[in-house]
Structures are given as C-alpha cells and as structure tokens.
Amino acid sequence: MDSAEYEYIVFRRIFIKYVNDSLAPHKAELKYRFQNKAVPHYLGDDDPASLEEELEDFNYYREANVFWVPEEARSVSLT
C-alpha cells in the first residue's frame, strides 16, 4: 500500500476516535439527567432498554452541537 493511501485510513480512524471521545462526556451527562429525579428530563429507573434507546437519539446531541456517531461506528479502535 502506498503511503498516500495509508494516511487517509489513519486520519479517518483518528477522526472517528476523536468524535467518539467527545461524544462520551455528553452521553454521560444525558444519562445523569435521565436518571436523576430532580431534573425535568427524568425517565425513571424501571426500563434500562428505554434509557439506552433515548441515549441514542441524535437530537439530544445535535441541540448541544455534539457530533453524533452511530453505535456501529463508535467501536472503532486505533489498535
């Protein structure tokens, strides 16, 4: 493989890793909001599947200007 081809692969993987790392803190904040009874976004503790489904709604990330990546793309590793 030519080095020019290789650099595009590396840069794409680094970009996805960066986006994934910036997504994680916002997802943790949303999870806190959804599980905290004192916050208006409280969803309840009885259904973890609905919590995970709500955390994957890209609108929460778009309104905070966080680049959302689908779950399949977040599993990219640099190793």
Q: What is the pLDDT of residues 2-59, one digit of tens each?
A: 777 788 888 888 888 888 888 889 999 999 888 888 888 888 777 888 888 888 888 9
> What pLDDT is stored for residue 68 in this prediction?
82
Predicted confidence at residue 26, as pLDDT, reads: 92
pTM here is: 0.69
> What pLDDT digit, counting tens, does each position of 66-76 carry?
888 788 777 65
Q: What is the pLDDT of residue 28?
A: 92
Compute the C-alpha angle 56/61/63, nearest 5°.
Answer: 135
Angle at which helices 48-55 and 3-35 cross, to 10°? 130
> What is the average pLDDT value for the chain, to the nearest integer?
82
